[in-house]
Amino acid sequence: MSKQILRYKRKIEHQLYNNLLPFWEKLKDDKNGGFFGYVDSKGNIDFLANKGAMLQIR
């Protein structure tokens, strides 16, 4: 692999393991399954908020 590709790979891995996965792991609803339906801009979970679904179609 080229040096540039390796740099991109490291940046992507950093974002994945330090930002994305910790964010979603915090929102996991182990009791009812899925993820909690609402989190505010400060990261506070509203445990009573309804859950929704997102559908992406091409």
What's the token pair of residue 37?
């339906």
DSSP letter at 16 equals I
Provide the whole-model pTM.
0.68
Domain boundary assignment for the chain: 1-30
Q: Extract long-range pairs of 12-20: CB within 8 Å, 24+ residues apart.
A: none
The amino acid occupying position 50 is N
The amino acid occupying position 41 is S
CA distance 5 to 55: 32
pLDDT mean over 5-33:
95
In sequence order, which residues have a C-beta less than 8 Å from that of residue 26 and are 6 or more positions away? 43, 45
Residue 55 has pLDDT above 80, yes or no: no
